[in-house]
Copies of this chain bind each other. A is one copy, B any other.
Amino acid sequence: MGVNSGTGVCFTRNPSTGEKRLYGEFLARAQGEDVVSGTRTPQDISSLEDLAPCAYAELLRTASLLEEHYGDMQDIEFTVEEGQLYLLQTRVGKRSPKAALSIAMEMFHSHKIERDELLSRVTPQQIEQMLHRSIDYAQQPSVLTVGLPASPGAACGVIVYSNEAALRLTKNGYKVLLVRPETSPDDIQGIIASQGILTSRGGMTSHAAVVARGMGKPCVCGAEALSFDFTRGTVTIGEHVLKEGDTLSLDGTTGKVFLGEVSLVEPDLSDEFWDLLQIADNESRLKVRANADNPHDAALARRFGAQGIGLCRTEHMFMEAERLPIVQAMIMAEHEDDRNVALQRLLPMQRSDFYGILKAMDGYPVTIRLLDPPLHEFLPSREELKEQVASATTPATRIRAERALRAVDRLHENNPMLGHRGCRLGITTPSIYAMQVEAIALATLDLQREGFSPQPEIMIPLVSHHRELVLMRRLVEDKWQEVLQEQSAQGEVPIGSMIEVPRACLVAQDIAKHADFFSFGTNDLTQTAFGFSRDDAEGKFLPSYIAQDVLEHNPFAVLDVEGVGQLMRMAFTHGREAKPSLKVGICGEHGGEPTSIAFCHELGLDYVSCSPFRVPVARLAAARAKTAEQNKQVDK
């Protein structure tokens, strides 16, 4: 065997970037498995040109022919003996998300593949991967510990343990990572302020994980090697004792945690990325909206191609630091007058919230859900208040703490998920909803005067009986008209219902008569259909259910078509029968999950709505659902 012999593996394109050139390795004087086995280090494919120029030319020609023939990038094994090329195998080559996009778009534009083939070549998962920053593993950073990959993407920052530290450091220009044993709703400020979250307890569906995924923030959960000592203010990981202000990096895609700052690779959203999604939109029947609660998210969603907001949660606005005391005063009011004073203080804030969101989504529908969570979620914990009472130094602070404690006791619930929330609040305390409607109407008028075209839609949460919607519709319409008449304006606002408890699905024909639209809240619908509290189920028994094959998927991640889907089908069918013009969508995490989106397409929904970061994923999934349906029809 001369020097012009050996074996090689090559791709017809660069599998990382998709660049069209021969890419691979060649090992001189080697046979069959030597290249792939890794026992010897091969040379770049270009070395073949010097060693066996004819064989190289032949390989170039053949590779091009094979790619042309199969209509896709090829992964070719070959051998050269005495300068003669022999092909051993060819197959479709594996590639990075970026390369998949690039290759597919190039082939589409050069008419080698059709639109439906283009849409099948890039997966929603690849789109998702393209959206996150990632650790530059080329720098070979050393791994400190590994937790659960709870929310993808990479982040670096100085570590903080509390909201206060997060806010203080962020104000001073630092990027922070919130590092805690676990998080709770009280930590929302800190989560918003930080680049990523790292916890020592809790699984893929702990509070930190769920919130981080919703916000598109990287998160590593359940990193059990972390040991906190809050009296000393340290967290120990192996031999490293860290304190607030030290720097860590984390990779939410793999669960890895690194000491110090590690270089990150920014997501590279090429023109091809946007072109593909534009092509997808042209194909789709389902529209894609986003769940966004503030102008920033609304603008982000719009950049990602959302055609409206499917769910604007007003509770996050209530949680903001400067408002929470007013919200608490409103809740603790023991007289209607005191409540109204607090509501009047909230009104201009809500007006400006809605102004910002409607402006960011100008021209597109914005579905605003009136206040949903139980009021006790806005109050401090019982334990905290008890301490405040005990440590009060003045009568005034003690009285204030005692009053709050009374409110907490009065509002305490055994099962808050099934408690005094949603439209039940609207029915027992209509003044809160009335204030929100007034704020939406005022913001709409403000924008109209400025020449914008705001499209608010008002959504009533947790309806289980049509008479709940009848009462709430009357409240909304009356307040809306009152505000418009005061300003000599005219117009109506669409009013719809969340469909998120089984009973609403069972009596959808009655509810539809009083609704302009339905929006499926499949998170709550899954909770109530199964009788699973998500918070409890995901931590306590769902892992065991999946391990023992009771359930194939976590039903909060992938829609349970067999059960929950049946309720949705019932609601959709009966709702549309009662009112053919009924607009129907889905909000909630399933709205960004590809197989769930396929089900929504099949059902005939008008739109899906998901977090801004999942909008591109959903746009592709919506288009793929349509082509899959067409292919199925062709097969028939």
Contact = CB atoms under 8 A, between A and B. Distances in A.
Interface of A: 413-420, 424, 427-428, 462, 464-465, 467-468, 471, 500-503, 506-507, 524, 527-533, 535-537, 540-541, 544-545, 548-551, 560, 562-564, 566-567
B548 A529 contact: no
B506 A529 contact: yes
Nearest to A420: B540
A428 to B, nearest CB: 5
20 contacts: A413-B536, A413-B540, A414-B535, A415-B417, A415-B418, A415-B533, A415-B536, A417-B531, A418-B537, A424-B541, A424-B545, A427-B545, A428-B540, A464-B532, A467-B550, A471-B548, A501-B529, A502-B531, A503-B529, A503-B560
A536 B419 contact: yes
B471 A527 contact: no
B531 A524 contact: yes
Contact of A550 (B465, B527, B531, B548): B465
Contacts of A524: 531
Contacts of A527: 418
Contacts of A536: 413-416, 418-420
A428 B529 contact: no
Nearest to A563: B503
A265 B564 CA distance: 54
A549 B471 CA distance: 10
Contacts of A544: 427-428
A130 B184 CA distance: 54
A537 B503 contact: no
Contacts of A545: 424, 427
Contacts of A419: 533, 536-537, 540
Nearest to A542: B424
A532 B374 CA distance: 13
B418 A562 contact: no
A418 B420 contact: no
B540 A415 contact: no
Contacts of A467: 549-551
Contact of A418 (B424, B427, B531, B563): B531
Contacts of A529: 464, 501-503, 506, 528
A417 B524 CA distance: 14
Nearest to A560: B503
Given A414-B417, A416-B415, A427-B541, A462 B567 contact: no
B531 A500 contact: yes
A427 B501 contact: no
Contacts of A550: 427, 465, 467-468, 471
A545 B535 CA distance: 28
